[in-house]
């Protein structure tokens, strides 16, 4: 007992501590705010939470790593990441930046590469289109966030890509 | 009577057509591409034929492959659904040449209505009002002044080669005309290399209203009243309702008669829809005719009480319409919401992916026409529409309240959907009052897309607690496994831990 983690929600870091667990009744401390909730979970990441007799239905979807989640409440979707020793270690070695940093343009969702209007070693300016992805009858242009040189193109025209796959690295 | 139908389509509309086939004791045949092996329409059908690779050009648009499958299956008819080949005059012709029944109008009707200019001329000939203006390019300022004085201001100048708003100018009075014409021409020249422009009357506060038609092979045509489709985003319909909040019974009568007259002029057969633009003074103008079943046909089914696919099949089998115009009446109010796999907070980007969990709304007056199920992966090759949610109520307010309730029950995880966006439309005062036109979404975008900054601490903490609990329980599970396995096989234990969590 006394388990605690740091949790990043929408890029804000919060410390969460489990004070007491009695069946499905939990007492927690979220950044100094005390909660007692009745929490049960179902299959498929569906949770029912009762807090002061108010009922919340919450859905949790696993993200790209096993420490990242998307949590949906009724009207709002949150990006949540568990920060523990491993994440801190990765962050300190700048590895996590390498994975998500803005010098790699990655696909936000699955699609097919329609066009790559740039070549490796080419100089690009901020806002210049570097790759065009088509998904579900809609084409989206991905633009360079900064001035730089195309270091590596990870895909070729016609490729089918999954979500969050690196497309172009800009140095 | 038709005994076996091949449905040359996919997704929700294929499933919807097959449902009616089952009720009529007609066998259904599905076709599918590589990406659609696991699609519900393949599982629902009695038979299924693979017709090619995932891109629609190699499968759902490949006429010969589809006709071959139809012949091989022994089907006697082909239903094209909507989209894909449903408005291809060539496909209709080829199907008929293969000795099969095409469930739809003649190739002549499809091609006449498919060409904007010919359709406009046909409408004028049938006495159906069109948006006043010129059909051929105008040359001089004097020409424009002459046309404008005939049709009245405001007018809109459009580039003949145009699109995307380029070379388009709104002119409110004669003083603005010379300057606007010059600008429109130079913009058109710069954008399209062609400075020819034409003039149209500008419709203020336009409504998009369409009439459903049914026509048999014996010259009987009736209309099934209107659908209000003004809630649109980038010319894509989002919400539709019937009856329209702005149509009087006199207008309904008049517009219905106009739609029937137009259909008669091309000897129309089957189900079809005539679309009109209606201004805020109640003037209506012919826009186009869709020679197929519409996506939003269920709201008409609900208020009229007819299964449109069943009517299509009966007509294609040569039967006479069983209903007279005077029998047709809208009963109560129906609303449809289209649920798309789109990320509304990210500029409505389509979101393909696996459905992790789905709970569809149930209860009195609710219908969903969809095709996704738990574990189904929405392919990237086709339309992002997941389903259509249709509700009915005795009054418009009953229907809106029921739609809100149904959207609340509708849960889909794994992909982002437009459900929260639709809920906000249902809550928007102008929608509730029925006071809206085609600019509704654009005019209310700020309240329809709330800022991403979230100030509700409690809700945020509930989300945090959920993630915390989920992760904590997983760690506990791993610890238990570790204790049990410790004495046995270190490598297996290591591998298992590595797979489930990196520590």
pLDDT tens digits, one per residue of B365-406: 999 999 999 999 999 999 999 999 999 999 999 999 999 999
Contact check, Cβ <8 Å, B413/A61: yes
Mean pLDDT confidence for B10-30? 98
Query: Which residues on B lie below 8 Å from A57 (Cβ)?
Result: 411
B180 pLDDT higher than 80: yes
B384 in contact with chain A, both atoms CB, cutoff 8 A: yes
Q: Which of B213, B204, B296 is nearest to B258 (CA)?
A: B213
Q: CA A106 to CA A129: how far, in whole Å?
A: 13
Tell me the DSSP string of B166-208.
BT-EEE-SHHHHHHHHHHHHHHHHHHHS---EEEEEPPSS-EE
Predicted confidence at residue B485, as pLDDT, reads 54
B377 in contact with chain A, both atoms CB, cutoff 8 A: no
Predicted confidence at residue A79, as pLDDT, reads 86
Predicted confidence at residue A99, as pLDDT, reads 46
For chain B positions 387-446, those within 8 Å of chain A (CB to CB) are 408, 411, 413-414, 416, 420, 423
Q: Which residues of B are catalytic?
A: 292
Predicted confidence at residue B166, as pLDDT, reads 67
Q: Out of 3.40.50.20, 3.40.50.970, 3.30.9.30, 3.40.50.300, select the CATH number for domain B4-98.
A: 3.40.50.20
Query: Which residues on B lie below 8 Å from A109 (Cβ)?
Result: 343, 349-353
CATH 3.30.1490.20 assigned to domain B141-201? The reply is yes
Predicted confidence at residue A133, as pLDDT, reads 87
What would the two tokens of residue B179 be? 């300057």
Q: What percent of chain B has pLDDT over 70?
A: 93
Mean pLDDT confidence for B208-237? 96
Contact check, Cβ <8 Å, B468/A41: no
Q: CA A37 to CA A39: how far, in whole Å?
A: 6
Q: CA B473 to CA B468: how far, in whole Å?
A: 9
Q: CA B44 to CA B29: how far, in whole Å?
A: 9
Contact check, Cβ <8 Å, A80/B461: no
Flag the least confident range among A22-26, A73-77, B91-95, B240-244.
Answer: A73-77
Q: What is the mean pLDDT of chain A?
A: 83
Q: Please give the CATH topology (third level) of the domain spanning B332-449.
A: D-amino Acid Aminotransferase; Chain A, domain 1 (3.30.470)
pLDDT band for position B503 (cuts 50, 70, 90): very low
Q: Which residues of B21-46 are buried (b: 16+ CB within 10 A; e: fewer)?
A: beebebbbbbbbbebbeebbbbebbe
Predicted confidence at residue B309, as pLDDT, reads 98
Q: What percent of chain A has pLDDT over 70?
A: 88
B34 in contact with chain A, both atoms CB, cutoff 8 A: no
Please, is B435 exposed, middle or buried when counting C-beta atoms within 10 Å of its C-beta (0-12, 13-18, 19+)?
A: exposed
Between B413, B464, B473, which is nearest A9 by CB? B464
For chain B positions 447-466, those within 8 Å of chain A (CB to CB) are 454, 456-466
Please, is B479 exposed, middle or buried when counting C-beta atoms within 10 Å of its C-beta (0-12, 13-18, 19+)?
A: exposed
Label residue A23 left, alpha or beta by phi (over 0 means left) and psi (-120 to 50 means alpha). Answer: left
Contact check, Cβ <8 Å, A137/B383: yes
Distance from CA of B72 to the nearest CA of A (A): 31
Q: What percent of chain B has pLDDT over 90?
A: 67
Q: CA A51 to CA B405: how far, in whole Å?
A: 23
Predicted confidence at residue B352, as pLDDT, reads 85
CATH, range A101-170:
2.40.50.100
A148 pLDDT higher than 80: yes
B231 pLDDT higher than 80: yes
DSSP tally for chain B: helices H, then strands E: 18, 22
- The domains of chain B are located at 4-98, 104-130+204-330, 141-201, 332-449, 457-500
Nearest chain B residue to A67, by CA: B471
Q: CA A38 to CA A19: how far, in whole Å?
A: 14
Predicted confidence at residue B499, as pLDDT, reads 67
Nearest chain A residue to B500, by CA: A66
- The domains of chain A are located at 4-90, 101-170
Query: Which residues on A lie below 8 Å from B413 (Cβ)?
Result: 44-45, 59, 61, 72
Mean pLDDT confidence for A83-105? 62
pLDDT band for position A97 (cuts 50, 70, 90): very low
User: Position of tokens 């490949």?
Assistant: B62
Distance from CA of A44 to the nearest CA of B (A): 6
Q: Which of B35, B463, B332, B192 is nearest to A75 (CA)?
A: B463
Contact check, Cβ <8 Å, A7/B500: no
Nearest chain B residue to A62, by CA: B414
Q: What is the mean pLDDT of chain B?
A: 91
Predicted confidence at residue B378, as pLDDT, reads 93
CATH architecture of A4-90: 2-Layer Sandwich (3.30)
ipTM value for the complex: 0.71
What pTM did the predictor assign?
Answer: 0.84
Distance from CA of B420 to the nearest CA of A (A): 6
pLDDT band for position B262 (cuts 50, 70, 90): very high
Nearest chain B residue to A133, by CA: B380
Between A28, A80, A110, which is nearest B463 by CB? A80
Length of chain B: 503
Length of chain A: 171
pLDDT tens digits, one per residue of B437-491: 999 999 999 889 876 555 688 889 999 999 999 998 888 887 777 666 555 666 7
Class of domain B104-130+204-330 (CATH, top level): alpha beta
Flag the least confident range among A25-39, A114-128, B268-282.
Answer: A114-128
CA–CA distances in Å: residue B193 to residues B140, B158, B161, B168, B186: 18, 14, 9, 15, 9
Question: Do B104-130+204-330 and B332-449 have matching folds?
Answer: yes
B350 in contact with chain A, both atoms CB, cutoff 8 A: yes
User: Position of tokens 């989209």?
Assistant: B83
Query: Which residues on A lie below 8 Å from B473 (Cβ)?
Result: 41
Mean pLDDT confidence for A38-52? 88
Predicted confidence at residue B299, as pLDDT, reads 98
A153: part of which helix (H) or strand (E)? strand A148-153
C-alpha A15: how far from chain center: 19
- Answer with the residue of higher pLDDT: A112 or B314: B314
Mean pLDDT confidence for A162-168? 83
Flag the least confident range among B157-171, B264-278, B474-488.
Answer: B474-488
Judged by DSSP in three states, B330 sits in: coil
Contact check, Cβ <8 Å, A33/B468: no
Contact check, Cβ <8 Å, B352/A136: yes
Predicted confidence at residue B498, as pLDDT, reads 66
A112: part of which helix (H) or strand (E)? strand A111-115
Predicted confidence at residue A90, as pLDDT, reads 65
Between B352, B416, B472, which is nearest A18 by CB? B472
């Amino acid at each position: 007992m006394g388990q605690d983690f740091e949790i990043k929600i929408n890029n804000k870091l919060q410390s969460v501590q489990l004070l007491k667990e009695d069946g499905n009744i939990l007492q927690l401390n979220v950044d100094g705010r005390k909660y007692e909730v009745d929490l049960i979970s179902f299959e498929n990441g569906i949770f029912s939470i009762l807090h002061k007799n108010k009922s919340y239905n919450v859905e949790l979807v696993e993200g790209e790593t096993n420490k990242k989640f998307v949590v949906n409440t009724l009207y709002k979707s949150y990006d949540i990441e568990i920060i523990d020793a491993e994440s801190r270690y990765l962050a300190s070695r700048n590895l996590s930046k390498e994975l998500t940093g803005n010098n790699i343009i990655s696909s936000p969702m699955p699609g097919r590469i329609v066009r790559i209007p740039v070549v490796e070693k080419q100089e690009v300016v901020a806002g210049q289109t570097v790759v065009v992805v088509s998904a579900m009858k809609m084409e989206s242009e991905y633009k360079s966030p900064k001035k730089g040189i195309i270091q590596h193109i990870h895909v070729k025209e016609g490729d089918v890509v999954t979500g969050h796959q690196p497309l172009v690295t800009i140095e | 009577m038709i005994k076996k139908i091949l449905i040359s389509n996919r997704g929700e509309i294929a499933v919807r057509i097959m449902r009616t086939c089952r009720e009529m004791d007609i066998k259904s045949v599905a076709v599918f591409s590589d990406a659609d092996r696991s699609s519900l329409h393949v599982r629902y059908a009695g038979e299924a034929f693979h017709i090619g690779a995932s891109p629609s050009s190699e499968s759902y648009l490949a006429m010969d492959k589809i006709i071959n499958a139809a012949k091989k299956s022994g089907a006697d008819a082909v239903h094209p659904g909507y989209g894909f080949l449903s408005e291809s005059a060539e496909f209709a012709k080829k199907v008929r040449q293969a000795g099969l029944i095409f469930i739809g109008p003649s190739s002549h009707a499809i091609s006449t209505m498919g060409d904007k200019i010919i359709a406009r001329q046909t409408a004028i000939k049938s006495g159906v009002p069109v948006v006043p203006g010129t059909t051929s390019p105008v040359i001089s300022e004097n020409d424009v002044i002459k046309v404008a004085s005939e049709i009245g201001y405001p007018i809109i100048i459009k580039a003949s080669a145009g699109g995307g708003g380029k070379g388009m100018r709104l002119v409110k009075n004669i003083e603005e005309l010379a300057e606007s014409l010059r600008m429109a021409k130079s913009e058109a020249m710069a954008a399209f290399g062609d400075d020819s422009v034409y003039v149209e009357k500008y419709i203020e506060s336009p409504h998009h209203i369409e009439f459903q038609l049914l026509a048999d092979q014996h010259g009987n045509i009736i209309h099934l009243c209107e659908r209000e489709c003004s809630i649109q985003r980038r010319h894509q319909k989002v919400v539709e309702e019937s009856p329209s909040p702005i149509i009087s019974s006199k207008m309904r009568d008049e517009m219905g008669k106009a739609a029937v007259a137009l259909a008669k002029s091309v000897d129309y057969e089957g189900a079809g829809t005539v679309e009109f633009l209606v201004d805020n003074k109640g003037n209506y103008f012919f826009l186009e005719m869709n020679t197929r079943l519409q996506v939003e046909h269920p709201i008409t089914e609900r208020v009229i009480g007819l299964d449109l696919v069943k009517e299509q099949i009966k007509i294609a089998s040569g039967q006479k319409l069983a209903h007279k115009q005077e029998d047709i009446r809208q009963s109560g109010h129906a609303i449809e919401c289209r649920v798309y796999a789109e990320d509304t907070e990210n500029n409505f980007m389509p979101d393909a992916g696996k459905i992790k969990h789905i709970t569809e709304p149930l209860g009195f007056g609710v219908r969903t026409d969809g095709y996704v199920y738990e574990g189904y992966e929405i392919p990237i090759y086709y339309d992002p529409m997941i389903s259509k949610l249709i509700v009915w109520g005795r009054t418009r307010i009953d229907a809106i309240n029921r739609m809100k309730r149904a959207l609340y029950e509708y849960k889909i995880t794994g992909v982002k959907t437009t459900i929260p966006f639709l809920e906000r439309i249902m809550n928007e005062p102008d929608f509730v009052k029925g006071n809206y036109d085609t600019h509704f979404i654009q005019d209310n975008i700020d309240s329809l897309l709330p800022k991403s900054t979230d100030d509700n601490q409690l809700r945020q903490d509930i989300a945090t607690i959920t993630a915390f609990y989920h992760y904590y329980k997983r760690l506990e599970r791993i610890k238990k496994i570790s204790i049990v396995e410790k004495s046995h096989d270190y490598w297996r234990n290591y591998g298992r831990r590595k797979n489930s969590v990196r520590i």
